[in-house]
Structure 1
Amino acid sequence: MSDTRTVLVIGGGASGNAVTVLLRRAGLAVDLIEARPDWNATTGSGITLQGNALRVLRELGVWEQVAASGFAYGSLGVTAPDGALLFVKEDMRTGGDDLPATLGLQRPQLQRILIDAVRACGATVRLGTTAETLKQDADGVSVRFSDGAEGRYDLVIAADGVSSRTRAEIGIADRSEPVGMAIWRTPAPRPERVTRTDLTYGGPAYIAGYTPTGEHTLYAYVVEACRDRRTIDPSAYADEMRRLAEQYGGVWPEITQHITDPDQVNYTWFDRLLVEGSWHRGRVVLIGDAAHCCPPTFAQGAAMSLEDASVLTELLTSGRPWDDDLFQAYYERRIPRVRTVVEASVQLCQWQLDGVRDADVPGLIGRTMTVLRELP
């Protein structure tokens, strides 16, 4: 009879995929279930990964694939609504001096890279499957799945996102809250002169920006006040984003001409979530967006999720008992850093919503990025 510890990971996004690979590498038996039959491999426009996210991707063994697929750069530009360049700031290398400061990547490409890593690590993967019930005792968790199958695990890791069903089932009542802003996103061809993220504050929207995601691609985004999504016909998404984007100058006219397919445009509210007190109940523990989420104003959502996977794996494979003390140690190690990111991300939004013109934005960014340069 095997004494190998068994883990169920619920959710096949960045944090779930990452923790699966890391735990398998340590010799644990891991089952991963994902509700979506397509493993979310085609959804999304782009993602900005800063150095601390790249550090975890290197730990996963996928950095070379990520580097080859994305677009690395080291600075941030700020432009006026007419496109005039106001200033350029060098990005801090939060992953260390041997990694780029920032890398843009098509989100589906990152997901495919992580999927390949999960497949290669030998985990058992079941798509189109959810956990219907979780019954805990002192030694583990019995799970009944949506297909009628059952399983017994030493640990369940809930990586099922901001609307986590698992979080609610184990009695954690926290739910995400909108911060008052929403974002339009779309992929587009990359003009040759786009070699970094450029942001415009003001104009017809709060923020307009773009990030190179590859040799020939970028993703563009426009941030406005939240609207009732029920009043926006999805067939008009391209028209709505183009209406805002075409009022910006510089490289925007080259981007705007490609905002034509409503199926390529995504509209999402900015949400905030930070579970306080602990991120576990018994042998079920939360990671990633199930425990915290924030507006993308610092481009740290995926990074915080990936760091969760790394830190939790370190603790689970340290030889310590899998008990409340260990899971509380995980929370206490993560919460100061995550809180810093969530609160700073929300603060940047609130200053814009309130029209604060003398806010110490550079100071807030500098303090936050300095924290992120430290190891998690």
Structure 2
Amino acid sequence: MNEPRPRTVLVIGGGASGNAVTVLLRRAGIAVELIEAKPDWNVLGSGITLQGNALRVLREVGVWDKVRESGYAVDAVGLAAPDGTVFHVQQDIRTGGDDLPPIFGMQRPRLQEILCEAVLESGATVRLGTTAEELVQDASGVTARFSDGTEGRYDLVIAADGVGSRTRAMIGISDKPEPTGMAIWRVPVPRPESVERMQLAYGGPCYIAGYCPTSKNTIYAYLVEANRDRASIDPASYADEMRRLAAPYGGAWPEIAASITDPAKVNYTWFDRLLVEGSWHRGRVVLIGDAAHVCPPTLAQGAAMSLEDASVLAEMLTAEQDWGSLDALLTGFYERRIGRVRMVVEASVQLGQWQLDGVRDADAPGLMGRTMSVLKETP
């Protein structure tokens, strides 16, 4: 009796969702080849705030112990006035379950490093500095032609190539990210002794002035404002500009601002929104993570939604032994994810829009609480 042919998957993109789905599929014995456009497989950015439902997936991937050693757990968020006066401390919902922190801060490059190590340990084939230039599908698989002139044959292609996904357009999905009207300045700085939790100040020259501990010694500080023409801001002035915006804020902010000295460490990005409707696949190519949906970080759920995509898709693929036709499975994946993802995208955008519109009586705590309560449920 002939042994069944090993199932093969191409993962395009080595960020959080691509790395996570690779590890989970390899654990089931599925052959995975991961390509990443960057030659060094790193990520830019300062810090990242992970909610419990993101940590739940990281535990499933097998990296929670390393993550826990590399960041800082927080169980409450302080809400403050611009002068630093805290008017409310909100205990956060444990969306990952009672045995995981509700909020966890860490440096984004360190999370990427941990996930990359897990991919390499899984035995997946990794090709850096490589892109897919063409995907040709037929009834039984996908032929991918790569930027280095080689090609490969796969049962399935998982496109995890981010908000600017080339694959999305390649398979005929025309949806594109749209700016929400907000932008964010981010920087890693030493942790002031007074900082023990995440804190958000509303008002002042910015919509939000916030920070989150990322280790015993560091925090991730950020300022949210109306987006500007990036071409009008000299990157060499980033540190000066962020200090200027931070100057009116009280509490820990004077110490934070004094530490913002290196413009190379300051990151400035616009908030985008994207939700691909209808389906996330065409034939045997499926989008996950930021390639399919993007939301502003007002709920800190972007990475969590991407990681959940990886978990759910891997679960469904490993449970299905017959990959003769994947259309029903991939349609089921979309149907299982779309309601939860839509809720997060719409709530995240709404929270930002209320600030843009200056709505003073908006029920932001209620919207956040309702959303987080739903996210406690297994995706």
TM-score (structure 1 length as normaliser): 0.99
Residue 374 of structure 1: how far off its partner (Å): 0.4
Q: SS of the counterpart of 1:184?
A: strand
Residue 239 of structure 1: how far off its partner (Å): 1.1
Q: Show structure 1 runs of 5+ residues with no match.
A: none
Task: Please give the alpha-carbon distance, in whole angstroms, between the structure 1 residues aligned to 2:219 and 2:268.
Answer: 17
Whether 2:302 is the aligned partner of 1:301: answer: yes
Task: Please give the alpha-carbon distance, in whole angstroms, between the structure 1 residues aligned to 2:201 and 2:68.
Answer: 27
Residue 17 of structure 1: how far off its partner (Å): 0.2
Residue 319 of structure 1: how far off its partner (Å): 2.0
**How big is each residue's C-alpha offset from its partner over 1:29-75, in whole Å with a ceiling of 9 and x where there is no partner?**
0000000011024x210000010000000001100000011000100
Q: Which amino acid aligns with 1:197?
A: M
1:92–1:101 Cα contact (<8 Å) kept: yes
Q: SS of the counterpart of 1:342?
A: helix
> Which residue of the other structure, out of 348, 351, 354, is the alignment partner of 1:351?
354
Q: Which amino acid aligns with 1:93?
A: R
> Which residue of the other structure, out of 337, 360, 363, is the alignment partner of 1:360?
363
Q: Which residue of 1 aligns with 2:39?
A: 37
Task: Please give the alpha-carbon distance, in whole angstroms, between the structure 1 residues aligned to 2:365 and 2:202.
Answer: 14
1:186–1:220 Cα contact (<8 Å) kept: yes
Q: Which residue of 2 aligns with 1:218?
A: 219
Q: Which amino acid aligns with 1:5?
A: R
Task: Please give the alpha-carbon distance, in whole angstroms, between the structure 2 residues aligned to 1:146 and 1:10.
Answer: 13
> Which residue of the other structure, out of 6, 14, 17, is the alignment partner of 1:15?
17
2:42–2:113 Cα contact (<8 Å) kept: no
Whether 2:233 is the aligned partner of 1:232: answer: yes
> Which residue of the other structure, out of 338, 342, 348, is the alignment partner of 1:339?
342
Once the two structures are superposed, the pairs formed by residues 1-376 of structure 1 within 5 Å of their partners are 3-41=5-43, 43-319=44-320, 321-322=322-323, 323-376=326-379
Q: Which amino acid aligns with 2:19?
A: N
Residue 321 of structure 1: how far off its partner (Å): 3.9
**How big is each residue's C-alpha offset from its partner over 1:84-140, in whole Å with a ceiling of 9 and x where there is no partner?**
111101000000001111100000000000011001000000100000110000111
**Alignment root-mean-square deviation, CA:** 0.9
Give the number of equivalent residue pairs: 375
Task: Please give the alpha-carbon distance, in whole angstroms, between the structure 1 residues aligned to 2:327 and 2:366.
Answer: 38
Task: Please give the alpha-carbon distance, in whole angstroms, between the structure 2 residues aligned to 1:209 and 1:274.
Answer: 26
Q: SS of the counterpart of 1:67?
A: helix
Task: Please give the alpha-carbon distance, in whole angstroms, between the structure 2 residues aligned to 1:147 and 1:214.
Answer: 40
Task: Please give the alpha-carbon distance, in whole angstroms, between the structure 1 residues aligned to 2:365 and 2:19.
Answer: 34
1:237–1:262 Cα contact (<8 Å) kept: yes
Task: Please give the alpha-carbon distance, in whole angstroms, between the structure 1 residues aligned to 2:6 and 2:197.
Answer: 46
Instruction: Give the direction of change, closer, same or farther, for the CA distance of 1:321–1:88 in structure 2 (3 Å limit).
Output: same
Q: Which amino acid aligns with 1:334?
A: R
Task: Please give the alpha-carbon distance, in whole angstroms, between the structure 2 residues aligned to 1:131 and 1:319.
Answer: 26
1:320–1:326 Cα contact (<8 Å) kept: no
TM-score (structure 2 length as normaliser): 0.98
* Between 270-279 and 233-242, the greater mean CA deviation after superposition: 233-242
1:210–1:221 Cα contact (<8 Å) kept: yes
**How big is each residue's C-alpha offset from its partner over 1:236-260, in whole Å with a ceiling of 9 and x where there is no partner?**
1111111101110100011101111
